[in-house]
């Protein structure tokens, strides 16, 4: 799979997942989550975090072969 994804696809997926994690965490911290849905919403957060870490790992591998890519910390702190 990693050979089929462009650097841009990995970057955008990583940034999108990072944003979704923040939104999901904010939602879980709010009083808006019905109690009967809390467990499901927490599982969604865990899935998002797992996917994010997989893309971060993939991005770090790409960084080793493409020295023009920004460091992961720089990428996550940038404004696109």
Q: What is the pLDDT of residues 30-77, one digit of tens each?
A: 999 999 999 999 999 999 999 999 999 999 999 999 999 999 999 999
pLDDT band of 3, cuts 50, 70, 90: low
pLDDT band of 4, cuts 50, 70, 90: confident
Q: Which of 48, 53, 54 is nearest to 24 (CA)?
A: 48
pTM: 0.86
* Residues 70, 1: Cα–Cα separation, whole Å: 22
C-alpha dihedral, 20 to 25 to 29 to 33, nearest 10°: 50
Contacts for 23-32: CB closer than 8 Å, 24+ residues apart: 24/48
pLDDT band of 78, cuts 50, 70, 90: confident
Residue range 17-36: mean pLDDT, rounded? 96
């Amino acid at each position: 799979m990693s050979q089929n994804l462009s650097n841009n696809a990995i970057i955008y997926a990583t940034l999108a997942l990072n944003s979704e994690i923040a939104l999901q965490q904010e939602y879980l911290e709010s009083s808006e989550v019905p109690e009967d849905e809390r467990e499901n919403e927490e599982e969604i957060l865990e899935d998002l975090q797992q996917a994010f870490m997989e893309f971060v790992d993939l991005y770090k591998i790409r960084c080793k072969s493409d020295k023009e890519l920004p460091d992961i910390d720089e990428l996550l702190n940038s404004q696109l």
